[in-house]
A and B are shown apart, each in its own frame.
Chain A
Amino acid sequence: MKLPLGTRNTLAEIGDISRFTARFFREWGGPRFEVQEFFRQCYMIGNRSLGLVGITGFILGLVMTIQSRPTMAQFGAEDWIPSMVSVSIIREIGPVVIALICAGKIGSGIGAELGSMKVTEQIDAMEVSGTNPFKYLVVTRVWATTFMVPLLVIFADVVAMYGSYLAVNIRGDTSLALFTQQFVDILAFSDVLPAFIKTFFFGFAIGIIGCYKGYTSNKGTEGVGLAANSAVVVASLMVFILDLLAVQITDLLGLT
């Protein structure tokens, strides 16, 4: 039986990404780890996304609160709004939305940067001057996204809380102390930990796919755009797939 071309290409792509990931784990650390470049990438990836992630988090909290008010009011449960928003954002919406934003900003950035380096032979030039380009470019970026995305998610969660506080006070009147208490009290360890752990995987996926698309982009300027574009598409899809897996695993472990 012969598979249709599209299916074959998709399977070949999955195979290539898996091999690329395996190569990452072969070269992930050890001697000649580029420490300085790793910290530079953390700064570039983390710091440069703060504004975008902050605004997204703020709006997320604000909108969630405004949207849930009518339904909650029907049940006379307006007091529960902070708790409900808290659980939805911390457990699910915060990590996923921020990971998607990061896939757009960081994934496309890495894809375009490495893609253009490939096209202009900069990756070959590194190889020729005795620096392993995989270690210098890929390993540092993947570690940087793996550690920075979770931090960005935590930052966004906190900003979302203030957004929610503002929204609660549009119609009602709650002190910040009471609101914060309601927002935090409802959270159990089993809400925070799985959500925190999965963000590492989101970050890893964004990094590895951005790097894969850029590093293996075909020659030509067209390849650069294509690398950036498909990095975002595949990384976003991966975030959802990983989220699906994470939710299933948390459910099986009874952390609900």
Chain B
Amino acid sequence: MESQQHRTDREVVLDVQHLSISFGDNHVLRDFNLQLYRGENLVVLGKSGSGKSVLIKCIIGLLKPDHGQIRVLGQDVIGMSKEELDRMRTRVGFLFQSNALYDSMTVRENLEFPLRRHGRDKSHSEVEALVMEALTNVGLPHTVDLMPSELSGGMRKRVALARTMILKPEIMLYDEPTTGLDPVTSREINDLILKVQQIYKTSSIIISHDMSSVFQTSNRIAVLIDGRCSAEGNYDQLTRNTDPAVQGFFQ
């Protein structure tokens, strides 16, 4: 029902056109096209090593594609200077597959880290309030003074999400958010992704191959096979797809 709602206002916030990237002879993405509309959760589905992570690393500017165009919130990412990239990255959040929490810092310092650059005008108490707000939203306010090594896998994922959400991005990129988590924790993370969508009104790209997570979180799905977007639609539409490569995911 929610997906129906989003279809009525189709403002494109992220537009990928003819994206190609290869590493040596390995052509990871060839002529890949994708649009993300405001407020929707778009799942990019694909096998391991099919270039899903490469796609979102291109979007955030960590990798440079060989060809193609990426427009994020109306701006071209590929020609951006360092300063422009930094500014764009305050509006686009990235949740890393391995969480990427800084081992040598406490949870609080981890959360304050993005504010070093982008929140320098904020006072100490404002920063503290932001940290606690972000941690409360993921249900972990009591962990603020712990080290990442003292947290469980699911808790680390949530802290990483809180760190990303502290800048209140308009677009979220999730890199395999439930990989390596047990089914119960996975469901909690999926609930959080939906909660983030509601509270912060974010548009998200979720990279995944965990079908229960896809079912729970997706408004729309794009299937990435052989470097191209080979099918697109919501969960019900794709279960009826006759392409054997697509069917492989939905059986």
A124 near B113 with CB under 8 A, answer no
* Bound form: Cα–Cα A117–B101 in Å: 9
Asked whether, in the complex, the Cβ of B97 is within 8 Å of the Cβ of A131, the reply is no
A127–B60 CA distance with the chains assembled, in angstroms: 10
Chain A residues, CB < 8 A from B99: 120
Are A125 and B96 CB-contacts (below 8 A) given A130-B118, A131-B116?
Answer: yes
Whether A130 contacts B100 by the Cβ 8 Å rule is no
Whether the Cβ atoms of B102 and A122 lie closer than 8 Å is yes
Cβ-based interface call for A253 (8 A) = no
Most buried by B among A117, A127, A130: A130
Assess whether A124 is in contact with B117, with CB atoms less than 8 Å apart: no
Contacts of B117 in A (CB 8 A): 129-131
A116, A117, A129: residue with the most chain B Cβ atoms closer than 10 Å: A129
A121 within 8 A of partner (CB): yes
Partner of B96, one of A113, A124, A130, A131: A124
Residues 95-131 of B contacting A (Cβ, < 8 Å): 96-104, 113-114, 116-118
Q: Are B114 and A121 in contact, CB atoms less than 8 angstroms apart?
A: no
B133 within 8 A of A: no
Contact of A120 among B62, B89, B100, B104 (CB under 8 A): B100
Are the CB atoms of B62 and A124 closer together than 8 Å? yes
- Overall SS of chain A's interface: helix
Interface residue? B86 (CB, 8 A): yes
The answer on a CB contact under 8 Å between A124 and B116 is: no
Q: Mark B174-193, 1 if CB is under 8 A from A, else 0.
A: 00000000000000000000
**Mask of A110-121 contacts with B, CB within 8 angstroms, 1/0:** 000100110111
Number of B residues, CB within 8 Å of A: 21
- Do B90 and A121 touch across chains, with their CB atoms under 8 A apart? no
Q: Which residues of A contact B114 (CB under 8 A)?
A: 129-130
A252 partner residues in chain B, CB cutoff 8 A = none
Tell me which of A116, A124, A128, A129 contacts B103 (CB under 8 A): A116
Query: How many of chain A's residues touch chain B, expressed as a range?
Result: 10 to 19
The answer to whether B86 and A121 have CB atoms under 8 Å apart is no
Whether A130 and B89, one on each chain, are in contact in the complex, defined by CB atoms closer than 8 angstroms, is yes
B83 nearest in chain A by CB position: A130
> Which residues in A have their C-beta under 8 angstroms from that of B96?
121, 124-125
- B residues near A117, Cβ cutoff 8 Å: 102-103
Whether B89 contacts A128 by the Cβ 8 Å rule is: yes
Q: Give the distance in Å from the alpha carbon of A122 to the alpha carbon of B102 in the complex.
A: 6
Minimum C-beta distance from B239 to chain A (A): 33
How far, in Å, is B63 (CB) from chain A's closest CB?
10
Q: Is B32 an interface residue (CB 8 A)?
A: no
Assess the A125–B86 pair: CB atoms within 8 A: no
Which of chain B's residues have a CB closer than 8 A to the CB of A127?
Answer: 62
Query: Contact between B97 and A128 (Cβ–Cβ < 8 Å)?
Result: no
* CB atoms of B103 and A130 under 8 A apart: no
In the complex with contacts A128-B62, A129-B113, A129-B114, A122-B86 CB distance below 8 A:
no
Contact A124 B118 (CB under 8 A): no
State in angstroms the CA–CA spacing of A122 and B86 once bound together.
17
**Nearest chain B CB to A223's CB is how many angstroms away?**
14
- The smallest C-beta distance from A137 to any residue of chain B, in angstroms, reads 10
> Would you call B62 and A130 a contact (CB within 8 A)?
no
Query: Contact: A121 with B98, CB < 8 Å?
Result: yes
Q: A121 with B97: in contact, given A129-B113, A129-B114, A130-B89 (CB under 8 Å)?
A: yes
Which residues of chain A from 71 to 122 have any CB-CB distance to chain B below 8 Å in the complex?
113, 116-117, 119-122
| Cβ–Cβ < 8 Å partners of A113 in chain B | 104
Residues of B within 8 A of A122 (CB): 100-103
Closest A residue to B167 by CB, please name it: A129
Interface residues of A (CB under 8 A from B): 113, 116-117, 119-122, 124-131
Shortest 3 CB-CB contacts between residues of A and residues of B: A130-B117, A125-B100, A129-B114
Other A-B pairs, 17, CB within 8 Å; known A129-B113, A129-B118, A130-B114: A120-B99, A120-B100, A120-B103, A121-B97, A122-B101, A122-B102, A122-B103, A125-B96, A127-B62, A128-B62, A128-B94, A129-B89, A129-B116, A130-B89, A130-B90, A130-B118, A131-B117
Tell me the B residues contacting A by CB distance below 8 Å. Answer: 57, 60, 62, 86, 89-90, 94, 96-104, 113-114, 116-118
